[in-house]
Amino acid sequence: MSDDSRIVTAIDIGTTSIRAMIAESDGQGEPVFMGYGIAPASGMKRGVVVNMEKAVEAITKAVEDAELMASVHIESAVAGIAGDHVKSINSHGVVGTSGADIDINEKDVARAIEAASAVAIPTDREIIHILPQEYTIDEQTGIKNPIGMNGVRLEVEVHIVTAAVTSARNIQRSLEKCEINSEHLVLQALASSYANITNEEEDMGVVLIDIGGDITDVAVFFDGSIRHTGVVPIGGKNVTNDITIGLRTTMAQAESLKLTYGSSLVSSVDPDEMMEVVTAGGRDARQISRNVLATIIEPRMEEILSLAAREIKKANPPESLTSGVVLTGGGVLLPGTVALAEQVLDMPVRIGVPSGIEGLPENLMSPDASTVVGLIKYGIMNGPGREKPGKGLKGLFRKIENWISNNF
C-alpha cells in the first residue's frame, strides 16, 4: 500500500441484505477492490433499525467476511441511509461577496450555502446532505463553480436532504456497537447514482429508480445537478407477499418462484409453461402456469413504477429527460421490468450496472450491488468524514466547510 493510499469501507444496510465492501484508494481517486461480505438482513424494516441486536449481528457478519477477504481490519465506514422518513427540499440563498475587486473565494461560497441552509428544520430531523445545484453571480446564472470569479452578489440553489434524528442515530449506534465509526451517512439513492450515472447523463437529464426490498428510491437529475429525491414505501418484498397470498404458499417458496419463474410483464410469458408450487401447510405440490405468476407480479411492479412517476413529476423536470431512466436495485432483476417501465414512464429505460472499481468481481456487477459500490466511490470522492458529526448550527457550518474543502 502506498503512502498516499487509504482504505475505504462501505456498508449498505438494506432490508433484505447487509453488504460490506472494502476498497483501496490509490491516491488518484481510483478505487481498487479488496473484499466483500454479505449477510441476510435482520432487525431492519423500510430502512429503519427495529431490532438493534439483530442488525448489529448482520452488520458484523458482513464486515467480518469482507475483512477476511481483504486481509485488513476496518475501523470506519461510509454507510447508506434510506426510508420513508427521508425528506428533501430545494432552497435558495444569497449573500454579498467580499467586493467587486476581489475574487469570490471559499468563504463566500460557504456563506451562500449557509444562507440557503437556514431553513426551518424540525428538532426531530437532521440534515444529511446539502447539495449545491448551481450558482448565480450578478444575474449570470448556471454557474457550477464560482470560486475565482468576480461579482458582488452571489446566489446558490441547494438540495437539502434530511432524515429523522432517531433513524439516523440508530444506524450510527448500530455501527458503533460493531466498533465502526460512521465517516459519512449517505442517502442510498445518491450513492447508487455514483455507481450508475455519468456526468453527461446528469447534464442531459436522467432519473434513477432503485427498487429495494421494502422501499424504492427515486432521484432526478438535470442540468448537471440533483433536483429531487423521493421515496416510494413499497419494493420487491411486496411482490413476494403478493405471490405468497395469491398462490397460498410460503414466503421462502414465493421468493424462489419469483426469482426462478417470475416476470414483470404478462405478455412476455408463455402461458403453456408450467411450474411446481408447494402449497403452505404441507399439502401436495401443484402445477401452475407461469402466466398466473406474472399476473400477480405485473400489477405490483406497475404500482411501484407509477408511484415513482409521481416523484419524478415533483421535480418539475424539463419536457424531455433525454437520458431516460436508470433502473437499479435487486427489485429490477425480473425479466420484463425494462419493457414495463418504458410503458409506464414513457421514457427510454436501461438497467444500471455498477462500475468504476478496478478488479470488481463479475458477480458484483449487478444492480443489487449498486448502493455498496456507490458508497465506496462517494467515500473516495468526499474524503474521510468527521469522527462525530456536530449538532445544530456548528455542525452545519462544519458540514459546509467539509464539503467545500472536498469539492474545490
Q: What is the pLDDT of residue 402?
A: 53
Residue 109 lies in a domain: yes
- Give percent above pLDDT 70 in the chain: 92
Residue 54 and residue 43 in contact, taking contact as beta carbons nearer than 8 Å: yes
Residue 370 lies in a domain: no
Q: What is the pLDDT of residue 389?
A: 38
Residue 82 and residue 232 in contact, taking contact as beta carbons nearer than 8 Å: no
Residue 48 lies in a domain: no
The residue among 296, 312, 328 that closes a domain is 296
Strands 125-137 and 140-143, bridge-based pairing: antiparallel
On the question of pLDDT at 30 being above 80, the answer is yes
Residue 137 lies in a domain: yes
Q: What is the pLDDT of residue 139?
A: 86
More confident residue, 393 or 312: 312
Q: What is the pLDDT of residue 401?
A: 55
The residue among 277, 296, 315 that closes a domain is 296
DSSP label of 25: E
Q: Give the range among 19-33, 62-76, 344-358 with minimum mean pLDDT.
A: 19-33
The residue among 259, 277, 296 that closes a domain is 296
Domain count, the chain: 2
On the question of pLDDT at 158 being above 60, the answer is yes
Burial call 113-133: b when 16+ CB within 10 Å, e when fewer = bbbbbeeeeeeebbbbbbbbb
Q: What is the CATH number of the domain that holds 270?
A: 3.90.640.10
**Mean pLDDT, rounded, of the chain:** 89
Q: For residue 350, give the C-alpha cell.
A: 436501461
Residue 152 lies in a domain: yes
Structural domain of 115: 87-162+390-398
- Give percent above pLDDT 90 in the chain: 74
Residue 218 lies in a domain: no
**CA separation for the pair 32, 110 (Å, rounded):** 33
Q: What is the pLDDT of residue 295?
A: 96
Residue 274 lies in a domain: yes
For residue 289, what pLDDT band results from cuts at 50, 70 and 90? very high
Q: What is the pLDDT of residue 97?
A: 86
Per-residue pLDDT of 32-55, as tens digits, reads 999 999 999 888 888 889 999 999
* Amino acid letter, residue 251: M
Q: What is the CATH number of the domain that holds 136?
A: 3.30.1490.110
Q: What is the pTM of this model?
A: 0.89
Coil, strand or helix at 86: coil
Residue 77 lies in a domain: no
On the question of pLDDT at 397 being above 70, the answer is no
